[in-house]
């Protein structure tokens, strides 16, 4: 199925490397690759008397004292660490972003005793689940495949209440993880990173931070910069005249107010029918006065089929966790949904229909990912399946004219990110819900009282912009990132995205992106992808520490090979023709509105990605130039204590 097999070597994981290191560094009790790191009990309470880690023997933490004593780059936190966190000027590692990836990243670093902090622009942790508080926001990954896999204790104690858990519960979960493992003490909130410049002479990253606590700018430096910025963290609004003149309430779904929004009896507009709009619309249709949906292009969508998880089911899930994560690791999407391996054209139409009926009534992404593989690559197969889904829509929407408007014409099912819905199509059967096709009558402006299309004015109390994100690279573009010789990342990526494994960039040494563009995260079950990425990046740091390296930079050649590979993977996928955030399209971002394809996601599937990055590690990080430090520790850095 894959276009370019250059990276298809079998999985040689990095046991060899690690065993060697363990033999040479007796204090380092690295976990075996591919296994979960050991749990460690809850860290000291925030603000508690001491944050000095207990001994490794008592906590199960990985000890790195030996590494530190040698030549290492890893330094443990000073005493009184948290109290002085905001005053520290240098850290060995700075992680930017306290979302799902940042939380796991700091957990790994904390376990290693590495001097690290997390800088988060928002007021609290949680990323996506902190921000997106719109009604209907929920996983469309099965909850128990979304949670972290690294701690058996965590898996055993957490009860997912719904198969596809909602935002409030998801945020509670992430807070629970942070509190259980004492991770908040490493986090600094309301700290927006404005710039990150690589100082070649010192081999350091120098960051300028807008500190919301004080309202001041401050500077920080670090040896390693780990960017866990989120894939969809920069919301984009339409470029619509008069938006600021609207007198009612209006917000992007990402910025949904924290306080309850009174919607009963209100006239509400929703602009956008992507995954977000579809969740909102299904949820609020029966709770508002009038709901008017402004749709530019319909999306293919299928039922989520959510439901509660009983105590007995949760107990069964807990028993099966190893099996569940093993099957996630085996499947291209990182879900339990395995593709149907039968050839689309080798089975009869009746057999195809039987599968589709089963999947349509089944939970989650089965309809997309447990389908025939040809859906993604073969126009004929895709078109037959799309027609099946179109019929399902026609059966659910009473007004045939409305039904036809809800059926996409410009792309087939599954070539854009598939939204999963609950009562979405039935919403249009309600007398208080109206569909405005703005491909026919475009939005012209917002007004003081509502919205104007080319046809007429509409009056609203609330306007909801479900208009998507400057996806995947948007958060990188927001920071002035400059690498060797002052090269700006935004310039490097202006026309073509290029990375090494989606985690490193030539010219930007010691900058790691566990869930970056072209990594395995964007196109797979996100937490499964981020655990892979975080583990790889952390293993690289451990490897460097053990060997006395302090600088890591992907070579230009390795970056080119990876980027070519990512690009080639698009060649066979129908998705390359679709205008969606998978291909870098966004009508609201200058330069991204033409639909010129940007190769942002890795389409080779999770197993292939994991095999590839592990093979790179097993070969001593082939494609990465590792070298010893040229720079001295920065003046003003805090003293470090070896634990
Ligand atoms: P998406 O999937 O990018 O959807 C954005 C929607 O907003 C889509 O229907 C767009 O129509 C519409 N849109 C965007 N800009 C405009 C303007 N200017 N006028 C009218 N309509 C507009 O974002 P979501 O937030 O729904 O989903 C993002 C991901 O979040 C999702 O895939 C999940 O992974 C979670 P268009 O199709 O461009 O015509």
Average pLDDT over residues 396-401: 98
439 CA closest ligand 1 atom index? 39
Which token pair is 576? Answer: 């390359």
How are beta strands 90-96 and 450-453 bridged, if at all? unpaired
Name the packing angle between helices 349-360 and 379-396 (round to 10°): 50
Average pLDDT over residues 315-336: 97
pLDDT reported for residue 49: 28
128-153 per-residue burial string, b: 16 or more CB within 10 A, e: under 16: bbbbbbbbbbbbbbbbbbbbbbbbee
- What is the per-residue pLDDT across 489-542, written as a single tens digit (0 to 9) for each? 999 999 899 999 999 999 999 999 999 999 988 889 999 999 999 999 999 999
240 CA closest ligand 1 atom index? 18
**Protein residue with its CA nearest to atom 33 in ligand 1:** 275
Q: CB of 556 within 8 A of CB of 364?
A: no
Indicate the burial class of 258 (C-beta count within 10 angstroms; 0-12, 13-18, 19 or more): exposed
- What is the per-residue pLDDT across 408-434, written as a single tens digit (0 to 9) for each? 999 999 999 999 999 999 999 999 999
pLDDT reported for residue 74: 53
Strand (E) positions, 361-437? 420-421, 433-437
**Protein residue with its CA nearest to atom 18 in ligand 1:** 238
For tokens 């854009």, the residue is: 416
- 453 CB under 6 A from ligand 1? no
- What is the per-residue pLDDT across 186-243, written as a single tens digit (0 to 9) for each? 999 999 999 999 999 999 999 999 999 889 999 999 999 999 999 999 999 999 999 9
**Protein residue with its CA nearest to atom 17 in ligand 1:** 238
Q: CB of 383 within 8 A of CB of 412?
A: yes
> How far is ligand 1, taken at its centre, from the CA of residue 467, in Å?
4
Indicate the burial class of 587 (C-beta count within 10 angstroms; 0-12, 13-18, 19 or more): middle
Residue 638's pLDDT band (cuts 50, 70, 90): very low
Please name every residue paired with 267 in a beta bridge, in sequence order, or none if there are none: 290
Give Cα 496 distance to the centre of its chain.
Answer: 21
Q: Which of 84-93, 297-306, 427-436 comes out lowest in average pLDDT? A: 84-93
How are beta strands 551-554 and 624-627 bridged, if at all? antiparallel
How are beta strands 249-252 and 450-453 bridged, if at all? unpaired
Residue 45's pLDDT band (cuts 50, 70, 90): very low
- 588 CB under 6 A from ligand 1? yes
Backbone angles phi, psi at 604, to 5 degrees: -80, -10
Residue 154's pLDDT band (cuts 50, 70, 90): very high
> Closest Cα partner for 357 from 343, 374, 338, 371?
371
Q: CB of 372 within 8 A of CB of 343?
A: yes
Q: CB of 324 within 8 A of CB of 317?
A: yes
d(CA 531, CA 514) in angstroms, rounded, equals 8
Average pLDDT over residues 276-295: 98
Helices (H), 436-553: 474-478, 489-492, 526-547
What percent of the chain lies above the pLDDT cut of 70? 85
> Closest Cα partner for 253 from 112, 173, 116, 134?
134
> How far is ligand 1, taken at its centre, from the CA of residue 466, in Å?
6
- 471 CB under 6 A from ligand 1? no
> Closest Cα partner for 141 from 344, 371, 304, 358?
304
Q: CB of 527 within 8 A of CB of 517?
A: no
> How far is ligand 1, taken at its centre, from the CA of residue 208, in Å?
32
Residue 551's pLDDT band (cuts 50, 70, 90): very high
431-458 per-residue burial string, b: 16 or more CB within 10 A, e: under 16: eebebbbbeeeebbebbebbbbbeeeeb
Q: CB of 382 within 8 A of CB of 581?
A: no
pLDDT reported for residue 629: 65
Length of the chain: 643
- Computed over every residue of the chain, the mean pLDDT equals 87
Please name every residue paired with 372 in a beta bridge, in sequence order, or none if there are none: 340
> How far is ligand 1, taken at its centre, from the CA of residue 143, in Å?
24
Which token pair is 298? Answer: 């319909």
Handedness of CA 330, 333, 338, 339 (dihedral sign): negative
**Protein residue with its CA nearest to atom 3 in ligand 1:** 468
pTM reported for the whole predicted model? 0.88
> How far is ligand 1, taken at its centre, from the CA of residue 299, in Å?
9
> How far is ligand 1, taken at its centre, from the CA of residue 236, in Å?
9
Please name every residue paired with 443 in a beta bridge, in sequence order, or none if there are none: 453
- 132 CB under 6 A from ligand 1? no
> Closest Cα partner for 278 from 390, 425, 417?
425
d(CA 420, CA 286) in angstroms, rounded, equals 19
């Amino acid at each position: 199925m894959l276009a370019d097999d250059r990276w298809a070597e079998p999985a040689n994981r990095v046991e060899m490397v690690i065993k060697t290191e363990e033999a040479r560094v007796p204090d380092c009790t690295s976990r075996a690759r591919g296994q979960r790191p050991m749990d460690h009990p809850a860290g000291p309470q925030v603000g508690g008397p001491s944050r000095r880690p207990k001994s490794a023997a008592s906590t199960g933490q990985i000890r790195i004292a030996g590494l530190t004593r040698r030549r290492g780059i890893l330094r443990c936190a000073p005493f009184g660490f948290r109290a002085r966190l905001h005053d520290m000027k240098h850290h060995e590692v700075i992680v930017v972003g306290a979302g799902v990836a940042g939380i796991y990243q700091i957990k790994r670093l904390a376990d290693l005793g590495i001097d690290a902090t997390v800088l988060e622009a928002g007021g609290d942790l949680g990323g996506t689940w902190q921000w997106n508080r719109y009604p209907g926001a929920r996983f469309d990954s099965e909850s128990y495949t979304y949670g972290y896999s690294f701690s058996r204790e965590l898996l055993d104690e957490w009860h997912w209440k719904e198969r596809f858990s909602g935002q409030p519960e998801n945020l509670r979960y992430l807070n629970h993880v942070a509190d259980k493992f004492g991770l908040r003490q490493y986090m600094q909130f309301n700290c927006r990173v404005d710039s990150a410049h690589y100082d070649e002479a010192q081999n350091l990253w120098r960051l300028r931070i807008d500190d919301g606590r004080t309202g001041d700018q401050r500077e920080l430096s670090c040896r390693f910069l780990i960017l866990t910025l989120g894939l969809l963290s920069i919301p984009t609004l339409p470029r619509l005249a008069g938006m600021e003149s609207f007198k009612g309430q209006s917000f992007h779904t990402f910025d949904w107010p924290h306080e309850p929004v009174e919607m009963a009896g209100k006239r509400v507009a929703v602009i956008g029918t992507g995954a977000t709009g579809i969740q909102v619309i299904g949820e609020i249709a029966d709770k508002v006065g009038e709901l008017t949906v402004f749709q530019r292009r319909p999306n293919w969508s299928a039922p989520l089929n959510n439901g509660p998880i009983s105590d007995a089911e949760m107990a069964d899930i807990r028993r099966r966790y190893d099996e569940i994560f093993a099957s996630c690791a085996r499947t291209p999407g990182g879900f339990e949904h395995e593709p149907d391996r039968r050839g689309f054209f080798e089975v009869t139409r009746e057999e195809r229909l039987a599968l589709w009926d089963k999947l349509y009534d089944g939970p989650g992404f089965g309809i997309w990912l447990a389908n025939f593989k040809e859906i993604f690559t073969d126009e004929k197969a895709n078109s037959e399946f799309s027609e099946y889904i179109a019929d399902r829509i026609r059966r659910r929407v009473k007004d045939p004219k409305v039904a036809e408007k809800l059926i996409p014409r410009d792309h087939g099912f599954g070539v854009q990110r598939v939204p999963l819905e609950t009562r979405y199509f039935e919403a249009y059967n309600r007398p208080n819900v109206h569909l405005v096709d703005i491909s026919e009558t475009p939005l012209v402006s917002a007004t003081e009282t509502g919205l104007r299309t080319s046809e007429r004015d509409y009056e609203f109390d609330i306007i909801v912009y479900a208009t998507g994100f400057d996806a995947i690279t948007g958060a990188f573009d927001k920071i002035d990132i400059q690498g060797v010789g002052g090269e700006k990342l935004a310039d490097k990526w202006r026309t073509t995205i290029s990375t090494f494994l989606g985690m490193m960039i030539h010219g930007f040494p010691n900058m790691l992106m566990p869930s970056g563009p072209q990594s395995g995260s964007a196109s797979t079950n996100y937490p499964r992808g981020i655990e892979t990425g975080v583990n790889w990046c952390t293993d690289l740091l451990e490897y460097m520490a053990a060997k006395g390296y302090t600088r890591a930079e992907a070579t230009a050649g390795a970056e080119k090979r990876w980027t070519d590979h990512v690009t080639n993977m698009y060649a066979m996928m129908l998705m390359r023709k679709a205008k969606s955030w998978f291909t870098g399209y966004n009508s609201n971002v200058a330069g991204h509105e033409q639909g010129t394809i940007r190769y942002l996601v890795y389409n080779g599937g999770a197993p292939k990605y994991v095999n590839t990055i592990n093979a790179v590690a097993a070969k001593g990080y082939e494609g990465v130039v590792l070298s010893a430090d040229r720079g001295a520790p920065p003046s003003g850095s805090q003293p470090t204590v070896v634990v």
